[in-house]
Amino acid sequence: MKRKAFYRGRCLVLVAIAGCAAVAFAQDCMRIGDPTKRLACFDRVGNSKQTRTQTSSDETKIQEAVRRSLKDPTSALFGTLTLVPPNGACQTVNARNEFGGYTGNQQAVVVKMNGLWQPIEAYKMSHEECISAVKKLSVNSRTDSE
């Protein structure tokens, strides 16, 4: 019995180490300056080809747009950003509310209208749920305009 527990513990440690290696590799992709090479790096890591990692100019513009919509713009802590073709994005943000406390991670839905990024709303949902919602939003808006 002790021997089985020993082996199970060892397997968990190996899985944890393998997971850390994948995270470190994804973080290395973020350091690549050339957008084309950075996207290729993320594709090797296993990111979905449906969504693309942002360019630094889009990232800055999206974060500025989200900041403008916050009660305390200087408190914004940004996390994952995913561009959703053709003109949407999901940005993870944690910022102070009107009471001075942090809200916890929320997903800011941002769309590009007339060449400018505009925040729609911040929602308490996972990043993956946000991406799915923005994809549905873009499909519906294309259908409505036809």
pLDDT tens digits for range 93-109:
999 999 999 999 999 99
b/e string for 109-118 if b means 16 or more Cβ within 10 A?
A: bbbbeeeebe
For 32, what's the count of Cα atoms within 13 Å in the CB-facing half-sphere?
17
Least confident of 5-14, 47-56, 94-103, 130-139: 5-14
Residue 56 has pLDDT above 90, yes or no: no
Q: Can you give the pTM of this predicted structure?
A: 0.59
Q: What are phi and psi of 94, to 5 degrees?
A: -130, 125
Residue 118 has pLDDT above 80, yes or no: yes
Say which residue, 128 or 2, is predicted with more confidence: 128
Q: How confident is the model at residue 14 (pLDDT cuts 50, 70, 90)?
A: very low
- Rounded to whole angstroms, how far apart are CA atoms 66 and 111? 11
Say which residue, 100 or 21, is predicted with more confidence: 100
Q: In 46-107, which residue ranges form alpha helices assigned H by DSSP?
A: 56-68
Residue 64 has pLDDT above 90, yes or no: yes
- Rounded to whole angstroms, how far apart are CA atoms 62 and 112? 9
Report whether the peptide linkage leading into residue 86 is cis, meaning its omega lies within 30 degrees of zero: yes
For 145, what's the count of Cα atoms within 13 Å in the CB-facing half-sphere?
6
